[in-house]
Amino acid sequence: MSGAEARPPDAAAAPAAQALTPPTSSGPLSAPLLHFFQALRDAGLRVSVAESIDAFAAVAVTGFSERDALKDALGLVLAKTLAEKEAFARCFDLFFARDALAALAREATPPSAGGRVEDGSALAEMLLAGDSAALVVAMEKAANSAGISEIGFFTQANIYGRRILDAMGLEALDREIEALHRQGAPEAAARADRLDAQRRRLGEAVRDFVRRQLALHAAGKTRAMREDFLSKAKLTNLDRSDFQRMHGLARVLAKRLASKHARIRRRTRRGQLDLRRTLRQNMATDGMLFRTAWKRQKIERPKVTAICDVSGSMASVARFLLLFLYSMHEVMAGLRAFAFSDRLVEVSDLLEHNDIEPAIAAILREVGFGSSDYGRSLEDFERSGLWLLDHQTSVIIMGDGRGNYSNPRTDILEAISKRSKRVIWLNPEPQSLWGSGDSDMLRYRPYCHYAGVCNSLRHLERAMTDLLEG
């Protein structure tokens, strides 16, 4: 933690700040900045090593005591999106807030007034002198030795507060107060009273400090833990309250996939000579045109058609698959989406024009929870969707392949497979159940370029990445 350095120069911290020049990355300033980076990371910012070096360089230019300049400079170097800028501003204000201790300084009486005790503890001296700069430094030191940046939960606040106070020498202070009380002399009693009052304020200041640290560090940790859990959890085990968070995750995932694979492919446009490149290529042959170079033109991104089973047997995962479908639709232009149980409908428009919750509800209302009939649904697709497919289209089918003993119509899947670039089948059931009971998965599998288990976001991501890269 820093702080003494962040105070305006008129505050009592000036001597401490001066002691800290020149600001170099190995100097005493590095600790507070490093802790600040930790706080930023906990708030979800990605602070790389290169950026932290930049931050040190920026601080070396701007200095510490000009709070606004410091904030602007660090913000320029560390926060790289609008969302990050907001998180940064919040973190900065929390991190460099130092108001609680100012009260201590105000309440303190000049050290000359009052019975001095020879073996007065350092903490007592600081408290009586109201030396807030020294107190801040002591508190930071104590906080670091207590490992404050590890704090993760609200329930830990008291423990950390206690540890900080102990490290600052509270025990010695308490003994001193007790000793003063026992002395009984009026001067000693007065000193004891003052110390008591300052001790209370110190306690408040530390509690305040710990709360701020909690706000800085804990939110990120709990969120990271929760998201990690969600991305590994089986889709079937999740409940509705996780939905919102899941949407965020699915969206990030879909976005990552889309931007990674939105590579622009090139195609030769026939009939147009690229004169410059042709001349250049034929330099070696004395300008005789042996080899020709043609102008190239960019063509569209890879196309994706998604088909999602929302029947009764898929009820527990359908919402999440639709969620992923929706996220994919948000980030991939031109995605065609279909949903089916006993019949198949195109839902691209529903996804396009509605918010996520209504869109999913509408899809489920329209075709959801019926008994699935893969054969009929594939027939529907043959009629309405087959013409969409060409050699650039990836078809993603999400379903368990359980068709209630209806005709599986694998011939249509074969046609789909032939027409499209690839067919990806994501099945929420474990592989051991494929082909058991009414599952036609094993019959469909030969026509899929990839058929895999997918029952968590992590699976989903892995499967999609493998496939889109291939």
Partner 1 sequence: MNDLDSSTRAAIDAVIAGLARAGYISSRQIATAVFLAQHLQKPILVEGPAGVGKTELAKATAAFLGLPLIRMQCYEGLDEAKALYEWKYAKQLLYTQILKDKLGEELNGVKSLAAAVKRLHGAGDIFFSEQFLEPRPLLRALQQPCGAVLLVDEVDKSDQEFEAFLLEILSDYQVTVPEIGTIRARVPPFVVLTSNNARDLGDALKRRCLHLHIGFPDPKLEQRIIEVKVPGISETLRRQIVALIQQLRREDLRKLPSVSETIDWARVLLLLHAEHLEAAMVRDTLNVLLKFEGDVSAVESKLPAFTDQARRAAGETV
Picking from 97, 304, 103, the residue whose alpha carbon sits closest to that of residue 211 is 97
Strand partners, 425: 397, 451
| Interaction pattern, residues 85-114, with partner 1; x per rule: CB under 8 A | x-----------------------------
272 binds partner 1 (CB under 8 A): no
Q: Which of 80, 261, 421, 458 binds partner 1 (CB under 8 A)?
A: 80
252 binds partner 1 (CB under 8 A): no
**CA-based angle 126:127:132, to the nearest 5?**
70
**Counting Cβ atoms within 10 Å, is residue 453 exposed (0-12), middle (13-18) or buried (19+)?**
middle
Quick check: 348 and 378 in contact, CB under 8 A?
A: no
| Interaction pattern, residues 419-438, with partner 1; x per rule: CB under 8 A | --------------------
| Interaction pattern, residues 196-235, with partner 1; x per rule: CB under 8 A | ----------------------------------------
Q: Which of 119, 186, 276, 387 binds partner 1 (CB under 8 A)?
A: 276
Judged by CB under 8 A, the number of residues near partner 1 is 41
For residue 44, the minimal CB distance to partner 1 (Å) is: 14
Query: How many beta carbons lie within 10 A of that of residue 331, not counting itself?
Result: 17
Torsion of CA 455, 459, 463, 465, to 10 degrees: 140
Picking from 352, 346, 362, the residue whose alpha carbon sits closest to that of residue 329 is 352
| Stretch touching partner 1 by CB under 8 A, among 54-62, 360-368, 381-389, 426-434 | 54-62
Quick check: 9 and 17 in contact, CB under 8 A?
A: yes
79 binds partner 1 (CB under 8 A): yes
Rounded-to-integer distance, Cα 11 and Cα 18, Å: 12
265: which DSSP letter? P
Residue with smaller CB distance to partner 1, 268 or 436: 268
Rounded-to-integer distance, Cα 19 and Cα 139, Å: 17
| Stretch touching partner 1 by CB under 8 A, among 75-83, 153-161, 336-344, 400-408 | 75-83
| Interaction pattern, residues 279-308, with partner 1; x per rule: CB under 8 A | xx--x--xx----------x----------
**Hunting for tokens 């706000």 — which residue is that?**
215
Contact residues: partner 1, CB under 8 A: 9, 14, 17-18, 20-21, 46, 48, 50-51, 54, 57-58, 61-66, 68-69, 72-73, 75-77, 79-82, 85, 259, 263-264, 276, 279-280, 283, 286-287, 298
